[in-house]
Every structure is written in structure tokens, then in C-alpha cells.
Amino acid sequence: MTTACQVPTINTDDLILREYRETDFEAFAAFGASERARFVGGPQDRWSSWRSFMAGIGHWTLRGYGMWMVEHRQTGRVAGRVGMIFNDSWDEPELGWHIYDGFEGKGYAFQATHAARAYSAEHFGLDAVISYIDPENTRSVALARRLGAQFEREGRLLGTPCHIYRHPREVRR
């Protein structure tokens, strides 16, 4: 039996949103170990990052969608991870983004999240989605607003209080 795990590729001006490769793991683990991960459940050790990496792949098979690895086309380096997250205990599918060290402040996060949101609305039927954001994560709040998302309500994710932002609808009904 073959279980397909289809991860479509999305091209933007500077980025390639693509499937996970084992060679991405060092960048993934470096982000997981860094203070940058404090708003997304980290920092975490290498062992926990390996599990998260495998779970990121498994999410695509279990749900049919997930988060993409974001490759910076010019350098071939991994710039982060964006896409749809719907683990058990999530209220609904969420647009999430993790931007790795050195790739902030260049408009890449906006480019990647905008492309992932549009693709997910069109191909996965996931439209007007939410993002869970820690209110102290001011850079993420700024990105959400720049994407046109608006604060909807306070909520909790895995026991941690957070704000729920709602993105605008991409596909006209």
C-alpha cells in the first residue's frame, strides 16, 4: 500500500513553499532551540524538534493540508514555515507562520503567508481562517494586521491564553 502525502509547491517572487526534506531539519531545530520559538511552544530540545518535524509531515497525510517549508530561492536556505495547522484541540484550522533567523524584516513573511492563505482558500476550502497569536508577539500581531486579519476574541490554545485573529475571505462565495 502506498500512502500519498501530496505537498503542492507554491512559487512567489522570492520564495518557494514546498514539502519537507530531511536536509531542512538543522534549520528547523535551530529555530526550535532559539528564543524565537517562545511564542510557538518553544524553545525545545533537538529531540522534541525532531518529533515536531515528523508531526509536520504527518499532518499533511492526516488532514490533507499542513504547513509548508519556505525556501529562499536566491540562497536555497530555509527561511521558515507557513501554512495551515489543525491539530486535535484546535477550534478550527489556523494559518500559522514561523520565520527563521535572518529572514525577518524583508517582507518574506507577508509574501509566504499571503500565498499560503490564498492557496488554502482555493484548493483546501479553508477560507476566512483564524490565527492564534500571543498578544505579546507584537511582530506576529503586526503581520496579521498587515494581512488584513482582525482581532476577533480572546481564546486559549493548549492551556495558554491567546488572541484569535480572523483573516478576510479570499474566495468570493
Partner 1 sequence: MSLTLTIPRLETDRLILRGPEARDFDPIAEFYADERRSWGFGGPMNRADAWRWLATSVGHWALHGYGFFTMELKETGTACGLTGLWNPEGWPEPELGWILFQGFEGKGLAREGAERAREWAYLDLGMTTLTSNIKPGNDRSVALAERMGAWYERTYHNVHLGEDLLYRHPAPAALGMTGGTTSRPEATA
- Report the interface residues with partner 1, using CB under 8 A: 1-9, 18-20, 22, 46-47, 49-51, 53-63, 87-89, 158
* CB distance 104 to 72 below 8 Å: no
Measured distance CA(109)–CA(157) in Å, rounded:
22
Nearer to partner 1, 85 or 129 (CB): 85
Nearer to partner 1, 41 or 107 (CB): 41
- Closest approach, Cβ 160 to partner 1, in A, equals 12
Which amino acid is located at 100 in the chain? Y
Nearer to partner 1, 46 or 139 (CB): 46
Strand 94-99 to 15-18 pairing: unpaired
Secondary structure element (H or E) that encloses residue 141, with its range: helix 138-146
Nearer to partner 1, 54 or 171 (CB): 54
Measured distance CA(12)–CA(116) in Å, rounded:
10
- Closest approach, Cβ 137 to partner 1, in A, equals 20
- Closest approach, Cβ 164 to partner 1, in A, equals 17
Nearer to partner 1, 32 or 147 (CB): 32
Which amino acid is located at 168 in the chain? P
- Closest approach, Cβ 138 to partner 1, in A, equals 26
| Phi/psi of residue 68, nearest 5 degrees | -90, 155
